[in-house]
Amino acid sequence: MRIPFLRGFWKLTWLEAKIFTREPMGFVGTLVMPVVVFIILGRALGASKPVATPTIDLPFNPAILAAILIALSAVQSLVAIISIYREGGILKRLRSTPLSPVTIMGAQVVVKLVFTVLSLSLLVLAGRRLFPGVMQVNVFSFTAAVLLGTFSILSLGFVLASLVPTARFAQPIGAIVLYPMLALSGLFYPLDRFPRALRELAYLFPTTHAVALLNGVWDGSGWAAHLVNVAALLALFVAYTALSTRVFRWE
Amino acid sequence: MIPVISVSNLGKSYGRTVAVDDVSLEVFEGEIFGLIGPNGAGKTTTMECVEGNRVPDKGKISVLGLDPRRDANALRQRIGVQHQEAHLQKRIKVWEAVDLWRSLYPRVVDTDSLLAGLGLESKRNAWFMTLSGGQKQRLFIALALIHEPEVVFLDELTTGLDPQARRAIWGLVTGIRARGTTVFLTTHLMEEAERLCDRVAIIEHGRLIEVGTPDDLVQKHCPERTVVFSSDDVNVAERLQGLGVVERAEGSAATYTIRGAGDDFVTAVINIIAREGIRVRGFRTEIPTLEDVFLKLTGHGIRD
């Protein structure tokens, strides 16, 4: 059955995935770097010593940091690709074919989510090998939480991609938004220690809810205890997607 | 004859900048129609409104009987476009781009012979970024033709190409017309317009200032003709009295320049030279081109 609306979707997705792997810097950077960060931090913070329980006595959880870094690098990569495509007239050229806008953007999202899963798999494999006893988390639940978080953060990525004037600005503007998001996410300092205004700002960022959900998955309290965060991730996805459809520029 | 494209009173502004002020034109089946003018004259905006890739502020547009905005999806199946300074993904292979485009249309041409015809068969596995400027443009022509469109839009097709590549592209464009496809192109190269276009429209400051065949426009606006010949004969100037000869001596021979106007002028001069039995060593005529028409109508050069 052919759905005209999504004509060419899988072909474009497959193509974009292949093209992504042909760019060694971007490919290695997004796939491997977060895992490297995880290993270095994990070793430095002494997580390699076998511990009896999965709770680690560390200032923060390096696995969750790495997972968030994976999500953020997916967003960085999305913003860079879209701004390069726009600057080169690639978006415009694709748009004047029967490809629908949803297909053109959806293909990028699927590619980013697939590579997020791959990177996460590397993370889990590395964790299981190097820090035995620590990675006793439900991998599927953890992966699902990371994917949901990434999905929601990607919608913010589309808003950023609309604001980026040229490809040269993709990296700095991405960083200006993404690093504070990470700092405010509650991963390093508990949210309740923030002033109220900052805390409320933090709730507008998907990373905050993604960290809360991942913490919940990690400490065993599970999805049920974090339905608020799940709902927030979905609501932010809807809000940012709606915003980006209004402000998005194809050229 | 029913026009394939008809535009009436098109207008489009970006903020306070008026890109297209008031443009009306018609393009007929099987012709190469060229919109010519300097950069910023409104060529691309007009073309993109006609393609349905830009929303006009005012005016009516009909392409193949369809409204480019309302019937955008139906129209995309029947037209082919090539954007100005377009690119594809740096690391997409030629065959992958062709394969993607093929999958988007219900009816497509045989792409192997299409690529061969465009001289791209040896580049099937090359990344887009490794192609030369001419090869990129030929790939964009292939992508624009893949679904056998009835109208093809080519925006500044040869800008930035070297003369050989440019000539090769010209051959391909006349080939498109030979298939019966209507071509709507923009260019700021007068030579290109003169060589390719059956009809041209000159646009400046968002308004059309003249439409017609290149020959007719030259005829109408620049009827001047100049004959320049050299001769070592004696008393040439006296024998051609009344023609306004300007003589310039150069060694043993002299060069004579005669200016006039109209189609019959050159014939008339030749007849007089023959009648007078003047021995001619060199002979040439200077006939104005579309570029001269453009200069005259706009008061400035195209490369301003």
CATH number where B29 lies: 3.40.50.300
- 3-state SS string over B76-94? HCCEEEECCCCCCCCCCEH
User: At residue B12, what is the residue type?
Assistant: K
pLDDT tens per residue across span B144-194: 999 999 999 999 999 888 898 899 899 999 999 999 999 999 999 999 999
Q: For chain B, what is the mean pLDDT? A: 92
- B267 with B137, same domain: the answer is no
Residue A1: pLDDT band with limits 50, 70, 90? very low
The answer, yes or no, to whether residue A26 has pLDDT greater than 90, is no
The answer, yes or no, to whether residue B9 has pLDDT greater than 90, is yes
Contact B100 A11 (CB under 8 A): yes
Contact A98 B89 (CB under 8 A): no
Closest residue in chain B to residue A91, using alpha carbons only: B88
Q: Which of A86, A87, A93, A100 to mutate to test the interface with B (most CBs of B within 10 A)?
A: A93
Q: Cβ contacts (< 8 Å) between B86 and chain A: which residues?
A: 88-90, 92-93
Per-residue model confidence (pLDDT) at position A128: 83
Distance from CA of A114 to the nearest CA of B (A): 19
Distance from CA of B155 to the nearest CA of A (A): 12
Q: Which two tokens stand for residue A165?
A: 């004037």
From the list A15, A22, A92, the residue facing B83 with the nearest CB is A92
Residue B63: pLDDT band with limits 50, 70, 90? very high
Angle at A116 between CA A48 and CA A146, to 5 degrees: 70
Sign for the CA dihedral angle at A130, A131, A133, A138 comes to negative
Distance, first Cα to last Cα, chain B: 37
Residue A3: pLDDT band with limits 50, 70, 90? low
Sign for the CA dihedral angle at B163, B165, B166, B167 comes to positive
The answer, yes or no, to whether residue B75 has pLDDT greater than 50, is yes
- CB atoms < 10 A from the CB of A242, how many? 11
Backbone angles phi, psi at B241, to 5 degrees: -60, 145
Query: What is the spatial distance between Cα B67 and Cα A222, in angstroms, rounded to a whole number?
Result: 54
pLDDT tens per residue across span B212-231: 999 999 999 999 999 999 99
From the list B87, B99, B127, the residue facing A88 with the nearest CB is B87
Per-residue model confidence (pLDDT) at position A56: 47
- B50 with B178, same domain: the answer is yes
Domain presence at residue B21: yes
Sign for the CA dihedral angle at A135, A140, A146, A150 comes to positive
pLDDT tens per residue across span B93-152: 999 999 999 999 998 999 998 899 888 999 999 999 999 999 999 999 999 999 999 999
- Residues of A59-75 as b/e, b for ≥16 C-beta within 10 angstroms? ebbbbbbbbbbbbbbbb
- B208 with B261, same domain: the answer is no
Per-residue model confidence (pLDDT) at position A221: 85
Distance from CA of B135 to the nearest CA of A (A): 17
pLDDT tens per residue across span B238-251: 888 888 888 888 77
The answer, yes or no, to whether residue A85 has pLDDT greater than 80, is yes
Beta-carbon contacts of A10 under 8 Å, excluding residues fewer than 6 positions away, are none
Q: Cβ contacts (< 8 Å) between A8 and chain B: which residues?
A: 100, 103-104
B188 within 8 A of B36, measured Cβ to Cβ: yes
- B82 with B111, same domain: the answer is yes
* Separation in Å, CA A245 to CA A12, A21, A29, A104, B126: 21, 28, 29, 13, 35
Query: What is the spatial distance between Cα A60 and Cα A58, in angstroms, rounded to a whole number?
Result: 5
From the list B83, B90, B91, the residue facing A89 with the nearest CB is B83
The answer, yes or no, to whether residue A132 has pLDDT greater than 70, is yes
Q: Give the number of A-B residue pairs with CB atoms closer than 8 Å.
A: 57
Pick from A164, A163, A205: which is nearest to A183 by CA?
A: A205
Mean pLDDT is lowest, of A26-40, A108-122, B126-140, for A26-40
- B36 with B138, same domain: the answer is yes
A75 within 8 A of A178, measured Cβ to Cβ: yes
- B192 with B78, same domain: the answer is yes
Closest residue in chain A to residue B128, using alpha carbons only: A19
A76 within 8 A of A108, measured Cβ to Cβ: no
Distance, first Cα to last Cα, chain A: 33
Helix axes B133-145, B163-178, angle to 10 degrees: 10
Domain presence at residue B297: no
Backbone angles phi, psi at A48, to 5 degrees: -75, -15
Q: Which two tokens stand for residue A86?
A: 């726009």
How much is the average pLDDT of A43-67? 64
Q: Say yes or no: B87 contacts chain A, CB-CB below 8 A.
A: yes
Q: Which of B103, B140, B146 to mutate to test the interface with A (most CBs of A within 10 A)?
A: B103
Residue after which a domain boundary falls, among B194, B215, B236? B215
Closest residue in chain A to residue B153, using alpha carbons only: A96
Q: Cβ contacts (< 8 Å) between B87 and chain A: which residues?
A: 88-90, 93
Distance from CA of A72 to the nearest CA of B (A): 23
Contact A93 B83 (CB under 8 A): yes
Q: Which domain holds residue A240?
A: 4-247
Domain presence at residue B270: yes
Domain presence at residue B303: no
* Separation in Å, CA B278 to CA B195, B234, B275, B284, B285: 35, 9, 8, 15, 17
Per-residue model confidence (pLDDT) at position A169: 85
Domain presence at residue B302: no
DSSP-based three-state secondary structure for A200: helix
Q: Which two tokens stand for residue A116?
A: 């997020």
Query: What is the spatial distance between Cα B33 and Cα B102, in angstroms, rounded to a whole number?
Result: 27
- B200 with B60, same domain: the answer is yes
Instruction: Please list the alpha-helical segments (H only) found in chain A.
Output: 9-21, 24-44, 62-87, 90-95, 101-130, 139-163, 170-183, 196-203, 206-219, 227-247
Domain presence at residue B293: no
Q: Which two tokens stand for residue B295?
A: 């200069």
Query: What is the spatial distance between Cα B201 and Cα B203, in angstroms, rounded to a whole number?
Result: 6
The answer, yes or no, to whether residue A195 has pLDDT greater than 70, is yes
Q: Cβ contacts (< 8 Å) between A99 and chain B: which residues?
A: 104
Contact B83 A98 (CB under 8 A): no
Distance from CA of B211 to the nearest CA of A (A): 28
DSSP for B59-78 reads EEEEETTB-TTTTHHHHHTT
Beta-carbon contacts of B2 under 8 Å, excluding residues fewer than 6 positions away, are none
Domain presence at residue B94: yes
Residue after which a domain boundary falls, among B159, B189, B215? B215
Q: Which two tokens stand for residue B29?
A: 């089946």
Contact A96 B127 (CB under 8 A): no
Pick from B143, B190, B172: which is nearest to B288 by CA?
A: B190
Q: Which B residues, 98 through 137, put their C-beta within 8 Å of a C-beta on chain A? A: 99-101, 103-105, 127
Beta-carbon contacts of B16 under 8 Å, excluding residues fewer than 6 positions away, are none
- B208 with B238, same domain: the answer is no
Q: For chain A, what is the mean pLDDT? A: 86
pLDDT tens per residue across span A199-244: 999 999 999 999 999 999 988 888 989 999 999 999 999 999 999 9
Residue B265: pLDDT band with limits 50, 70, 90? very high
Number of domains, chain A: 1
The answer, yes or no, to whether residue B26 has pLDDT greater than 90, is yes
B87 within 8 A of A88, measured Cβ to Cβ: yes
Distance from CA of B87 to the nearest CA of A (A): 5
Higher pLDDT, B26 or B300: B26
Query: What is the spatial distance between Cα A68 and Cα A208, in angstroms, rounded to a whole number?
Result: 10
Reported pTM: 0.86
Q: How far is CA B13 from the centre of its chain?
A: 25
- B180 with B239, same domain: the answer is no
- B211 with B164, same domain: the answer is yes
Q: Which domain holds residue B232?
A: 223-287
Query: What is the spatial distance between Cα A175 and Cα A180, in angstroms, rounded to a whole number?
Result: 8
Q: Cβ contacts (< 8 Å) between B100 and chain A: which residues?
A: 8, 11-12, 15
From the list A12, A23, A93, the residue facing B86 with the nearest CB is A93
Residue A66: pLDDT band with limits 50, 70, 90? confident
Number of domains, chain B: 2
Query: What is the spatial distance between Cα B47 and Cα A116, in angstroms, rounded to a whole number?
Result: 41
Distance from CA of B8 to the nearest CA of A (A): 23
The answer, yes or no, to whether residue A54 has pLDDT greater than 60, is no
Contact A98 B77 (CB under 8 A): yes
The answer, yes or no, to whether residue A53 has pLDDT greater than 80, is no
Q: Which two tokens stand for residue A198?
A: 């900052």
Query: What is the spatial distance between Cα A221 and Cα A227, in angstroms, rounded to a whole number?
Result: 11
- B197 with B280, same domain: the answer is no
Q: Cβ contacts (< 8 Å) between B85 and chain A: which residues?
A: 89
Per-residue model confidence (pLDDT) at position A59: 66
